[in-house]
Amino acid sequence: MESTAIILAAGEGTRMKSNHAKVTHEILGKPMISWVIDAALKAGVSRVVAVIGSHADEVRTLLDATYGNLADAHIECVEQAERLGTGHAVRVALEATGVDAGPVVVLNGDLPLVQPETIAQFVQTVAAGDCAASILTCTPPDPFGYGRLLLDDNGEVVRNIEQKDCTPEQAARLTECNMGCYAFDGAKLAAHIGEVGCDNAQGEYYLPDMIEILKAAGDVVRICHLDDYREALGVNSRAQLAELTAIARDRENERHMAEGVTIIDPATTWIAPDVTIGRDTVVWPLTFLLGDTHVGEGCTVGPNTRLTDCTVGDGSSVEETVGISATIERNVSVGPRAYLRPGAHLLDGAHVGTHVEIKNSTIGEGSKVPHLSYIGDTQMGSGVNIGAGSITCNYDGVRKNRTTIGDGAFIGSDTMMVAPVNIGSHVVTGASSCITKDVPDGALAIERSEQRIIAGYGEQKFARK
């Protein structure tokens, strides 16, 4: 049976004090709305409808960049031009998409901790057709501020009582809290959503009113109870963003440790939800693994390392390194204090050392760039040694140019390779040479001014002082 998830992401988020949409703020480097969408897709939801409003263009652009062709990803954006409440947002989504059947779950876009299993269970509460709606509930340690649900002896919802309307006795006795997410029978939701009114102080259409509307129509409303209340926590402030980020950090770290990864200090290790790490890898403190990063088995990563959208092969060591969209093959050592920019590709057994920057270049098998070098737009063969202070001069002020270095070349310290230039296999360059012309295989290339010695100059200079 096809199911739909409606993600409410149109709010202003005024308490965030931000120039950006609230749902674009990140948890472990991933926007909050992407956490919710990914959880819904993993739960098997057939269709995701994101209701956007405030900063609509920003959210739409983010989703385009994250999911590519939204239609192929079964994701749609519907704009709520006037923000007139949650009930109005759902009605706008239904009218724009024509959804009128199957389970429909309504989730908030600032719900980053909700799990796919929870959404799948939520869908099932209305899938059988004997229940018109279900409310996601839990019993948080501090229920203040949440609506309380009055249940009958069969566990069905009698009514939802908002915090402001609770008597002291009800506030103490009713512990089942409404977390603001709903599952509906799509046909009954479409049939009754137009009955939600705006006769309230704010003049808005509130989705919780559907409970009484469906009850009045003789339909059954139940609850879907969460054992872990943290899944239903939302973000309304920077402090809550930090709180939920810490919870997500701990959850992700625990997942990796359960799979055989050693994390020396989980409190200072930040791993994004889409990262994979092989067993027997050791992650040192102050390490950040973000985006679509994948680390193999038996690696050492950190300390003081940030990898974003990188791949690290088995047995590699990456220390005090920043890497972005870089590929590190097996048994490679990187750092300390290295910078791998997009397109850096380090083949098996390569070594990139201290204060080295690699950009859009392939470092061949067993090749070494030990220290104080910049290698950009370069194809390097195997067994190459780059002396300290050497760089490829790849930019001529207009375009980027390529350098090729053949197998077994020995590049002397402080060699400038001015691209475009081809350096053959087993070439040796003299220290402090500026190579501007192609060098054939097996040759020595040396370029430097003749050294002059002026006897007695130093004695005369210091004598004058």
Does 215 count as an annotated binding residue?
A: no
* Secondary-structure breakdown of the chain: helix, strand, coil percentages, each rounded to the nearest 5: 25, 30, 45
CB distance 308 to 271 below 8 Å:
no
Does 65 count as an annotated binding residue?
A: no
| DSSP state string for 22-40 | GGGSEETTEEHHHHHHHHH
Q: What is the identity of the amino acid at 349? A: G
Does 323 count as an annotated binding residue?
A: no
CB distance 352 to 334 below 8 Å:
yes
Identify the CA nearest to 402 among candidates 377, 381, 385. Answer: 377
Could you tell me the two tokens for 38?
């990914």
Does 457 count as an annotated binding residue?
A: no
Does 11 count as an annotated binding residue?
A: yes
Does 9 count as an annotated binding residue?
A: yes
Does 124 count as an annotated binding residue?
A: no
Could you tell me the two tokens for 187?
């046909």
Does 437 count as an annotated binding residue?
A: no
Is 371 annotated as catalytic? yes
Does 360 count as an annotated binding residue?
A: no
Q: Is the dihedral of CA 197, 200, 204, 206 positive or negative?
A: negative
Does 201 count as an annotated binding residue?
A: no
Number of Cβ within 10 Å of residue 78's Cβ equals 20
CA torsion, ordered 327, 328, 329, 333, to nearest 10 deg: 170
Does 10 count as an annotated binding residue?
A: yes
Cα 325 from Cα 321, distance rounded (Å): 13
Cα 109 from Cα 8, distance rounded (Å): 5
Max distance between CA atoms of the chain, in angstroms, equals 109
Length of the chain, in residues:
465
Does 175 count as an annotated binding residue?
A: no
Does 85 count as an annotated binding residue?
A: yes
> Of the residues 294, 345, 371, 426, which is catalytic?
371
Does 160 count as an annotated binding residue?
A: no
Does 162 count as an annotated binding residue?
A: yes
- Identify the three-state secondary structure at position 193: helix
Cα 157 from Cα 149, distance rounded (Å): 7
Does 413 count as an annotated binding residue?
A: yes
Does 43 count as an annotated binding residue?
A: no
Does 222 count as an annotated binding residue?
A: no
Strand order in the sheet with 311-312: 276-277, 294-295, 311-312, 327-328, 345-346, 362-363, 378-380, 403-405, 421-423
Q: What is the identity of the amino acid at 188? A: K
Does 69 count as an annotated binding residue?
A: no
Binding positions for acetyl-CoA:
388, 394-395, 413, 431, 448
Binding positions:
8-11, 22, 80, 85-86, 110, 147, 162, 178, 236, 341, 359, 374, 385, 388, 394-395, 413, 431, 448
The residues that are catalytic are: 371
Binding positions for UDP-N-acetyl-alpha-D-glucosamine:
8-11, 22, 80, 85-86, 147, 162, 178, 236, 341, 359, 374, 385
Binding positions for Mg(2+):
110, 236
